[in-house]
Structure 1
Amino acid sequence: MPSPSLIDVLVRTAASAGCAEPTRLRHALELAADKHQPLMDAVVDSTMVDEDAFFAQLATGLGLPYAENGVGEAAEGLHSRFPAKLALRHRICPAQVANNEVTILTYNPFDLSARQAVGQELRKRVHWQIAPRHRILEALHQGYGVGAENFEELLEGRESGDDHDDLKQETTVLDEADEEATVMNFVNQVFREALKERATDIHVEPLERDLRIRYRVDGKLLEVPVPPNMRLLQASLISRLKIMAHLDIAERRMPQDGRINLELDGEPIDVRVATIPSVNGESVALRLLTRKKFDLMALGLDDKTEATIRKLLAAPNGIILVTGPTGSGKSSTLYTFLKELNTKERRIVTIEDPVENKLDGIIQIAVKPEIDLTFAAGLRSILRGDPNVIMVGEMRDQETVEIAIRGALTGHLVFSTLHTNDAVGGISRLLDMGIEPFMISSSVRAFQAQRLVRTLCGICKQPAHHEDSHLRTIGFPLEWKGKLFKPGGCRSCRNTGFTGRLAIMEICLMSEALQDKINNRANSIELKAQALKDGMVPMRQYGFRKAAEGVTTIEEVMTVTAASE
């Protein structure tokens, strides 16, 4: 166990830096010491003291310089200036490298093994500076890339022909045992980081001279720093992903689809895998499907919209259609509705392509066209199974819609989706599919169109100024302009200014007047005019309200609603 004096130093330093509970911190450090865990990490992980303030105070107490600059200078060209294994193993980062001198950032000045390794490896005069852990780790990530600590091991594994053929489990558990395999270690780290960054997708893309990895976060693709020469590992990395997804690793000319079941820190995660052959090799798209806790309150609805939705969910029968383009959150909205209705008194059955999230207490069927289990065939079977509530993943054809209407007219509550730009467009879409107007007007209760907007980071958002003329042009109420914000950028949001997404929507309810318009085959302009007269709030206006609440920005709302206006 480390000498009590080191714990004393750390506790005193934390107290000087503003730690309100030094006794609790001491206890946490003693527990960490008993488990042979690094004490500096224990201080930061305790969250009992501000990290930057603590390390600044520690530098003062030890008489060492404190690095004030950000990570940019330290990370730039890092892999070419400093050995990756040395930096990553000891979590140190060079700030300056000259011919005979090097300045190194550390957050653990008490790590003698790091000092010895640097002395043996570099044979240079070393100047040490203290920096916060988050700054050093970010510099290492930016400079060397995700999984860089495994890079040399991966190359060694590839050269020795170690394919890790023992991976044949139905579920791959990402734990310490898997860390022994170098290829799996790299793959695991990519998954871990993607989940930490709240990514919904991972893209592994071979380029002409490189291998690119990108995460989709809040709807935007972000390139991930990767070690140099990652292209050398393209075959082993993609083969590993295909093995995990139970795909044919020998087939490289045809697209393949598969699924990976992961368990990370006790949480099950499903990964949909799609490979696409390209001129530079196979590209792999990975959709991460975490077991979300679907909750109506989490949709961020205003009181009026929430009341409208709850009234629709309380209906004994009818069709409720959620519309929007791919990636607009339609499936998540439907899952939220089903979760709200999921009681012991209701039998809920779904047919989906594919089943994206598994819901306890709900019977879920996956479409399998190869055995003629289509939406229409599955829906017929469901109606014979005494359901109360039915969810159809998508209304793709006339036959499916007609069966769903039959189900709604015989006492079932049916949910589904359509690909349209706005709510009223759902009516035109059904008419275009050959559905009779009276069948639409008598069975559909509501069309709900939606889009996803990025939500502002609550830590760094800043007041925004917009010219009155611009606000008038876009139809934004001038009385709300003093409440607008714009993105900032901080460590919490990865300097994007946004964290998370929220649905903005419009709901077109089926009124008697709208039924008459549909039955008389009114055009889309007349239908929308009637819906607005009935009280429908346009999606853009709904989004403007969210912008005025400081939840998102005007620019986000304008971008996602451009096609619906």
Structure 2
Amino acid sequence: MNMQDLPLAGTEPHALTADLLAEAHSLAAQSGRPLLEVLEELSALLPDAFVLALSRLMHYPAVTALDLNAMQPLFDRLSFNQAVAMQAVLMQNQEGQVKLVIADPFDHGLQLRLQNSVRVPVQWCLAHRNDIATCLQFHESQMRALDQMHTEDGHGSEDQVPVEQLSLKSISEDSSPVVRFVRSTLYDALKAGASDIHLESTIHGLRVKYRIDGVLNEVGGLSGVMQAEQAISRIKVMSELDIAERRIPQDGRCKVHALGREIDLRVSIMPSVIGEDAVLRVLDRKALSEAQGISLEVLGFAPAMLTQIRTQAEAPYGMFLVTGPTGSGKTTTLYGMISEINTGQDKIVTIEDPVEYQLPGVLQIPVNEKKGLTFARGLRSILRHDPDKIMVGEIRDGETAQIAVQSALTGHLVLTTVHANNVFDVIGRFTNMGVDAYSFVSAVNVILAQRLIRVICPFCKVDDQPEPDLLLKSGLDAQASAQFKFKKGQGCGQCHGTGYKGRKGIAELLLFDDAMRELIVAKAPISQIKALAAKSGTRSMREAGMALVQAGETTLQEINRVTALS
């Protein structure tokens, strides 16, 4: 039965009049009690009838407890902690409509905070505060049961890293406001799919940002300098760091049980002139494999690029170098290659810091610098383990670079990463690390540089015509821009109002043939190397990105953010 059809017990349907509301205002001001409670007492209506009368008075749609049970809460957009504090819940019905259900239509400050928190188009609805509380208790018990099942399965920590239990119960029932704040921040970040969590100290407290799809988004904060220091100290306690040391950087890690699985967090604490900042890198080992499997298709490279990568990944020996900044998908690319070439006929060994995803049939070794297991020392040991293919998580120093090059020259296929801006800068990186140019070019088969760019949300994609200044900044004239089908995202509930949903990889690939090797050994100018690469078919990341703009998959603003105009 729809609430609009319910009879009002004890009074007429329009018993909530302007005069009764004025009387309630006066009594609430005298007693200091909430206006909503006073009005409900004066009305003498049953809860359902009161909500119906209030909805007619305030012109809000009314929903019942049955309506709430039939809808799905969106705690990734309005967190459970916020819902409890504000007596409001963001719901989605079976038709996909998003409804923001509140109990108090008179609290305009609350509505403003809700608008700032949700930031998506919603339909505002009214429900009784008891029905909202019951709905939240039900979903809390559901999450508590899932967390309890996971705990009973015995998936405990293997290396005694601190484990924080994140559940709706732990957030709502903890007596410490700071602990509740930290737990709810982590829980909301994991629900939103953030890759990094930034806690930034300010003169007024703490600012919280999530990195989602490679872009930082401010999501909230904490008022008070003392509370900010306590929140950072809580992060340190979770990571077993020194809470008394505030003058030097500290690095640590911890684990959390959340969303039915164990998730690693790499923690970096950095002192500043105001206080301390913390950045937590989320390493969700199971998320990718559970969602779509680890393969080269995950990053969405162009078909021609995928063919080239697969061909080079099947080489019997040599080095396959992947470069790019942190968070550009380098490790995922290497895992995708290993998953596809792992036929069971070769011995594949990896050394990583840390092991992000577990691959069946592959020996994976985590770096442990505290125990003396570095990349260089581990790589030496791997060579005595009769490997066919080796993955080195990252080349950071000259010793590791030398061993990796020698491994590639002695019949092994070495897959590895190095930090550089593009494929040509990798050459200089290895030279600066002391690797002989002839050995380097003899070992390397291919260098792949990649980035991840956001793609336009398919649910709110519309035609667009960029401003002339943007076209000029992007290196496009009127004739060139006429060939593009520009699109943009207007912003909707599916993309959290950003206009982008998901990311796709763009890459440039440099193949080492005899002519390229001769130029590098001869220390030819970089302009000659680039000219030869272009002649051989190397397409820059900028060109790959502009091809996606031309196809209407992303925007000029996103390409300008990620790549440089050459």
Does the TM-score normalized on the shorter chain lie above 0.5? yes
The CA deviation at 1:454 is 1.8
Aligned residue identity for 1:511:
D
Aligned residue identity for 2:271:
P
Distance 1:78 1:287, change over 3 A: closer
Whether contact under 8 Å (1:471, 1:478) holds in the other structure is no
Distance 1:190 1:476, change over 3 A: farther
Aligned with residue 522 of structure 2, among 516, 520, 525: 520
Match of 1:309 in 2: 309
Quick one: distance in 1 between partners of 2:406 and 2:339?
24
The CA deviation at 1:469 is 7.3
Q: What is the CA RMSD across the aligned residues, in angstroms?
A: 3.8
Whether contact under 8 Å (1:428, 1:524) holds in the other structure is no
Whether contact under 8 Å (2:457, 2:495) holds in the other structure is yes
Whether contact under 8 Å (1:44, 1:51) holds in the other structure is no
The CA deviation at 1:529 is 1.0
Match of 2:174 in 1: 181
Aligned residue identity for 1:171:
V
Structure 2 SS opposite 1:424 = helix
| CA deviations over 1:367-387 (Å, ceiling 9, x no partner) | 344444332222111111111
Match of 2:112 in 1: 76
Match of 1:460 in 2: 460
Aligned residue identity for 1:518:
I
Match of 1:545 in 2: 547
| CA deviations over 1:84-109 (Å, ceiling 9, x no partner) | xxxx9xx9xxxxxxxxxxxxx97343
Quick one: distance in 1 between partners of 2:479 and 2:427?
30
Q: Which moved more, 1:246-255 or 1:544-553?
A: 246-255
The CA deviation at 1:400 is 1.9
Match of 2:415 in 1: 415
Structure 1 SS opposite 2:423 = coil
Aligned residue identity for 1:247:
L
Quick one: distance in 2 between partners of 1:189 and 1:50?
26
Aligned residue identity for 1:222:
N
Distance 1:537 1:77, change over 3 A: closer
Distance 1:352 1:278, change over 3 A: same
Whether contact under 8 Å (1:203, 1:285) holds in the other structure is yes
**1:275-424 equivalences in 2 (<5 Å):** 275-291=269-285, 292-293=288-289, 294-424=294-424
Percentage of matched positions with identical amino acids: 38
The CA deviation at 1:113 is 7.1
Does 2:289 align with 1:271?
no
Whether contact under 8 Å (2:474, 2:560) holds in the other structure is no
Distance 1:273 1:477, change over 3 A: farther
Distance 1:55 1:427, change over 3 A: closer
Aligned residue identity for 2:94:
M
Whether contact under 8 Å (1:425, 1:524) holds in the other structure is no
Quick one: distance in 2 between partners of 1:345 and 1:73?
65
Match of 2:80 in 1: none
Q: Which moved more, 1:405-414 or 1:494-503?
A: 494-503
Quick one: distance in 2 between partners of 1:557 and 1:44?
38
Distance 1:275 1:562, change over 3 A: same
Structure 2 SS opposite 1:328 = coil
Structure 2 SS opposite 1:225 = strand
The CA deviation at 1:538 is 1.5
Structure 2 SS opposite 1:254 = coil
Distance 1:77 1:199, change over 3 A: closer
Match of 2:125 in 1: 107
Whether contact under 8 Å (1:321, 1:417) holds in the other structure is yes
Structure 2 SS opposite 1:271 = strand
Match of 1:204 in 2: 199
Which runs of 5 or more residues in structure 1 are unaligned? Answer: 11-36, 60-65, 80-87, 92-104, 116-132, 134-167
Match of 2:254 in 1: 260
Structure 2 SS opposite 1:246 = coil
The CA deviation at 1:520 is 2.6
**1:231-242 equivalences in 2 (<5 Å):** 231-242=225-236
Structure 2 SS opposite 1:349 = strand
**How many corresponding residue pairs?**
449
Quick one: distance in 2 between partners of 1:322 and 1:476?
36
Distance 1:391 1:74, change over 3 A: same
The CA deviation at 1:417 is 1.7
Does 2:76 align with 1:49?
no
TM-score (norm 2): 0.70
Match of 1:500 in 2: 502
Structure 2 SS opposite 1:562 = coil
Quick one: distance in 1 between partners of 2:131 and 2:165?
32
Q: Which moved more, 1:478-487 or 1:206-215?
A: 478-487
TM-score (norm 1): 0.70
| CA deviations over 1:420-451 (Å, ceiling 9, x no partner) | 22212222332343333322222111011112
Distance 1:509 1:562, change over 3 A: same
Distance 1:351 1:50, change over 3 A: closer
| CA deviations over 1:7-30 (Å, ceiling 9, x no partner) | 9979xxxxxxxxxxxxxxxxxxxx
Aligned residue identity for 2:210:
Y
Quick one: distance in 2 between partners of 1:177 and 1:77?
24
Does 2:556 align with 1:529?
no
| CA deviations over 1:39-66 (Å, ceiling 9, x no partner) | 33323227422436x899xx9xxxxxx9
Quick one: distance in 2 between partners of 1:404 and 1:415?
9
Whether contact under 8 Å (1:40, 1:107) holds in the other structure is no
Match of 1:219 in 2: 214
The CA deviation at 1:343 is 4.0
Aligned residue identity for 2:275:
G
